[in-house]
Chain A
Amino acid sequence: MEILVLLKQVPATESLIAIANDRVSIKPDGLKYVMNPYDELAVEEALRIRESQGGTVTILSVGPAKAAEAIRTGLAMGADKGILIDPGNLTCDGLATAKLLAAAIKPMTYDIIIAGHRAVDDDNFQVATALAELLGIPNISMVVKQTLADGKIRCLCTVEGGTKEVEATLPALIATQRGLNDPRYASLPGIMKAKKKPLETRSIADLGLDAAGLQPLVTIKALKMPVERKGGRVIEGDSVAVKVAALVKALHEEAKVI
């Protein structure tokens, strides 16, 4: 079973995010970067499939040189090799990222591609779906359980208020949802072995693509921090009746909810 995992390096969710002076990007200083948590699920699921069916796990990531750290973490967890696609100065939107991945994956043999359903930094939800479309393979998202049999993959997926069961023929792409598994930790021997595993870097030109065809269709115009929540108001009064009356008045006239 040839398994590909798509992975993105993102700022750690506990990082304090500040908007840069250009107003369209975040300040990189002091940020700690980690593997996108949904991609951790993808790596874990890939390793489990390999453990039960044999095969190899290859991690692909689009990002700057620094993103190799996240690939190394995946290799330390147990993946076999990594490919970093460095887009250089190009700012990639979801579609451009998918095009880069598609170009890298097309000449490869694979049975299953596993991705996070979204990256927690810009929450686009696009790359996995766009990639499946570009490769012309089935795409199943929000997967919380999968089983492989007879060249098919059967998945349990979350939908609003419940789950659904779907099936597709391999090769297929599945996108992970929380609950799929409990990702393992990178072990110390794993970290040491990861040093020796192959990790190659490819540029846009290496993939036979041209930056002109990858210009983003979507551009960020402004970033804003969420509005700070105001503190609550305690309604004062001499008796319960007075306080209730004041509350009703406030709900009716100020909040306009009753």
Chain B
Amino acid sequence: MSQNLYFTKEHEQVRTALRDFVNKRINPFVDEWEEKGAAPLHALFKEMGELGFLGIRYDEQYGGEGLDYWYETVMLEEIARAHCGGVPMAIAVQTNMATPAIAEFGSEYLKEKYLRAAIRGEMVGAIAVTEPDAGSDVAALRTFARKEGDVYVLNGSKTYITNGTQADFLTLLARTSEAPGYHSFSLFVVPTDLPGFKISKKLDKLGMRSSDTAELYFDDLRIPVENLIGQEGEGFIYQMRQFQHERFSALPICYIGAEEMIRETVAYIKGRIVFGKPLITKQVLRHRLVDWLSGIECLRQLTYHIVRLKMAGQDATREISMGKLVGGRLLNQVADGCLQMHGGMGFMNEMRVSRFFRDARLIAIGAGASEVMSDIIAKLEGF
């Protein structure tokens, strides 16, 4: 059990409420949603929105709770306890990936119309950055929004879009100029009920199966100019800022997920008798578990350090990138090792560890691959 220095009684009450919700309203349905390849996000978000779980950090003026990053961390830690990676990811898209830029740079109109609805869980959001030919290399984006009077005409496609088959709006990054450099992109809120929006296909994935992922296609989709977030040409900069919220949300998912899996594994190998003794009595396994727990504690404390930096208004790009790099690696190491400790049983789909193993893989790829994190850190270090 990690010792607590940062969370007050009120944080713990919020934690209890969230844990209760995850146990009663998410976990019992996870198997069904994994099987279906999607969770019913409109119903789930509506319920979460009514309980105030989707707008923790956002301004009360738009229906948020106006609370600090510690409360957000509590929320992320608790959704990470769900018995799958897909649903926590879908929730984090709504709270930490598709909405931060609207809240930070969006107009009054966008905040009233989209942020408020996202906080209430009345609209499902998605973040649309990745394209078939541009992923972590964001500057290679080709989707183009051409300004024509009071609309931007959008053409192109986006892929690997989480919540993509259910989203009511996309927070979408597109080129608005062919000029090289970082000031040729703009960030838009794109409603998915406009003509020219098409879901090309629902993608089939290795893991995160309770979360739907789509490839999207835009054919002369006319985005009203008021759906531009902030200034034209600044989208890339806004998205880099938004990415910090997205990547941060991966950290609690890593250390809580890994810790949960270790707990499951310990329970399993305590009961598993091999050569007449419970498997947990093997020193080599106990030490391996402890190595992981030590790594988990380091990641947790780095995360709390990041929260303190953010609370102090300091930029935490370096630390968040490091957390994501270390977290992705740690999660996969723990997933692989815990599955190994389960033996043949771990390979069976009925076991949570097998799902965890499949889900963990994405954390080192999504929201900027580990290699991209390394590049960011190297650049910040000046080499």
Name A's B-contacting residues (CB within 8 A).
69, 72-73, 76, 185-192, 194-195
Contacts and interface: CB of A to CB of B under 8 A. Distances in A.
- The interface residues of chain A, by DSSP majority, are classed as helix
Given A187-B50, A187-B51, A187-B52, A192 B17 contact: no
Interface in B6-28: 10, 13-14, 16-17, 20-21
B52 A76 contact: no
Given A185-B51, A188-B51, 5 more contacts: A76-B13, A76-B17, A185-B21, A188-B17, A194-B13
B27 to A, nearest CB: 13
A195 B65 CA distance: 14
A186 B21 CA distance: 9
A73 B13 contact: yes
B152 interface: no
A192 B51 contact: no
B53 A188 contact: yes
B71 to A, nearest CB: 8
B10 A192 contact: yes
Contacts of A72: 13
A70 to B, nearest CB: 11
23 contacts: A69-B13, A72-B13, A73-B16, A76-B13, A185-B17, A185-B21, A186-B16, A186-B17, A186-B51, A187-B17, A188-B51, A188-B52, A188-B56, A188-B65, A188-B67, A189-B52, A189-B65, A191-B10, A191-B13, A191-B14, A192-B10, A192-B67, A195-B10
Residue among A186, A188, A189, A195 with most chain B CB within 10 A: A188
A190 B20 CA distance: 15
Interface string B36-76: 00000000000000111100100000000101000000000
Interface residues of B, number: 14
A172 B50 CA distance: 33
Contacts, number: 38
Nearest to A187: B51
Nearest to B66: A192
Give 7 nearest A-B pairs by CB, closest first. Answer: A188-B52, A187-B51, A186-B17, A187-B52, A189-B52, A191-B13, A188-B65
A127 B56 CA distance: 40
A114 to B, nearest CB: 21
B22 to A, nearest CB: 11
A51 B335 CA distance: 48
Contacts of B17: 76, 185-188, 191
B65 A185 contact: no
Contacts of A192: 10, 65, 67
B10 A188 contact: no
A256 to B, nearest CB: 34
A20 to B, nearest CB: 22
A185 B18 CA distance: 9
Contacts of A186: 13, 16-17, 51
A41 to B, nearest CB: 15
Interface in B269-296: none
Nearest to A14: B23
Contacts of B67: 188, 192
Nearest to A194: B13
Contact of A185 (B10, B20, B56): B20
B118 to A, nearest CB: 15
Contacts of A73: 13, 16
Nearest to A76: B13
Contacts of A189: 52, 65
Residue among B20, B50, B51, B67 with most chain A CB within 10 A: B51
A73 B10 CA distance: 11
A69 B21 CA distance: 18
A72 B21 CA distance: 17
B94 to A, nearest CB: 15
A194 B67 CA distance: 15
A185 B50 CA distance: 10
Contacts of B20: 185
Nearest to A30: B1
A69 B17 CA distance: 13
A227 B372 CA distance: 58
Contacts of B10: 191-192, 195
